[in-house]
């Protein structure tokens, strides 16, 4: 994996760990981080040796404490639209990755940080994690998908409450609402995330990708999620992984999936 200016990466077996490396800025998102996230996700998806990724922040205080507000000053309306669209494009790419990406939320996940975590497939939170969308305090709204994904994850009523009050919630409340999948001790955060990805990596890669595709179809305008499921079920039946999986089941042995 190449070197980045705002990200650190490491690979362990078939997993990629991505650290947002702006600890002195509480890992705040700026244009460079967004651009490098876009690039690293492309590299991750293209690398057949990698089966899953973990996205986290450097240090123990923050996953991502928000956007770098200094970049917002003096924006025109047109520039604001372009900034939001760029964030949407990158976060959509994360969400639509055919391989799972887990947000290991270590500390603050506010504003763009909460939006980034929600774009990932799963969110594992440390016990000190804090989630929130405080943009209305700045005369803004979430610009990277927050008004949409928060509703999907926790429902309209509670999402509106958090978006309108700018309140933050702790990891326990996030877990109760469905925003966080699990809450663990900080020292266990990365290992828990790796354990989940290792379990997913034992499944058929094509089937994993198709599950992600079908779930997202439910939330995509103009797409019938039920029909998507029917079609992708048929596509799975035509794969070598399906033959291997069913054969291994009948032979009472562990399947050896090839992702084909």
Q: Which two tokens stand for residue 178?
A: 């469905």
Alpha helices in 21-63 (DSSP H): 31-46
Pairwise CA distance, residues 34 & 145, whole Å: 14
Per-residue pLDDT of the chain (260 residues; tens, 9 = 90+): 789 999 999 999 899 999 999 999 999 999 999 999 999 999 999 999 999 999 999 998 999 999 888 888 888 999 999 999 999 999 999 999 999 999 999 999 999 999 999 999 999 999 999 999 999 999 999 999 999 999 999 999 999 999 999 999 999 999 999 999 999 999 999 999 999 999 999 999 999 999 999 999 988 888 888 999 999 999 999 999 999 888 988 888 888 888 88
Q: How far, in Å, are 24, 81, 84, 133, 242 from residue 87 at the CA level?
A: 22, 10, 5, 15, 37
Per-residue pLDDT at 222: 85
Q: Angle 5-99-179 (CA atoms, 0-180°, nearest 5)?
A: 85
> 66 — phi, psi (to 5°)?
140, -170
Q: Domain 7-201, what architecture?
A: Alpha-Beta Complex (3.90)
- The catalytic residues are 115, 135
Q: What letter would DSSP give residue 73?
A: T
Q: Are 106 and 60 in contact (CB under 8 A)?
A: yes
- The reported pLDDT for the residue numbered 115 is 98
Of the candidates 130, 118, 131, 133, the one whose C-alpha atom is nearest the C-alpha of residue 163 is: 133
Nearest one of 101, 128, 126 to 116, comparing CA atoms: 101
Give the span between the Cα atoms of 187 and 60, in whole angstroms: 10
pLDDT of residue 68: 83
Query: What pLDDT is recorded for position 70?
Result: 83
Domain boundaries, the chain: 7-201, 205-250
Report how far Cα 71 is from the mean position of its chain's Cα atoms. Answer: 24
The residues that bridge with 182 in the sheet, in sequence order, are 124
Is the distance from CB of 121 to CB of 180 less than 8 angstroms? Answer: no
- Cα diameter, the chain: 66
d(CA 179, CA 255): 33
d(CA 132, CA 165): 10
Q: Which two tokens stand for residue 1?
A: 């994996």
Residue with tokens 């928060």: 150
CA distance 75 to 31: 14
């Amino acid at each position: 994996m190449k070197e980045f200016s705002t990200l650190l990466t490491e690979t362990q077996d078939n997993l990629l760990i991505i650290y947002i490396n702006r600890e002195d800025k509480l890992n705040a998102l700026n244009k460079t981080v967004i651009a490098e996230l876009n690039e690293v996700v492309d590299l991750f998806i293209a690398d057949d040796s990698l089966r899953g990724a973990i996205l986290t922040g450097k240090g123990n205080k923050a996953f991502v404490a928000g956007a770098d507000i200094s970049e917002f000053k003096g924006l025109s309306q047109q520039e604001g639209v372009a900034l939001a669209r760029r964030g949407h494009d990158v976060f959509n790419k994360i969400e639509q990755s055919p391989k799972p990406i887990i947000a290991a939320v270590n500390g603050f996940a506010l504003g763009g940080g909460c939006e980034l975590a929600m774009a990932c497939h799963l969110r594992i939170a440390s016990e000190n994690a804090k989630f929130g969308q405080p943009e209305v305090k700045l005369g803004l709204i979430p610009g990277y998908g927050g008004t949409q994904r928060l509703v999907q994850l926790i429902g309209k009523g509670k999402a509106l409450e958090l978006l309108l009050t700018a309140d933050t919630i702790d990891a326990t409340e996030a877990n109760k609402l469905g925003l966080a999948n699990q809450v663990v001790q900080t020292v266990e955060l990365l290992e828990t995330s790796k354990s989940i990805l290792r379990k997913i990596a034992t499944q058929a890669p094509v089937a994993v990708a198709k599950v992600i595709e079908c779930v997202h179809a439910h939330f995509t305008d103009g797409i019938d999620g039920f029909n998507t499921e029917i079609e992708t079920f048929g596509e799975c039946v035509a794969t070598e992984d399906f033959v291997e999986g069913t054969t291994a089941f009948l032979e009472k042995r562990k399947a050896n999936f090839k992702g084909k």
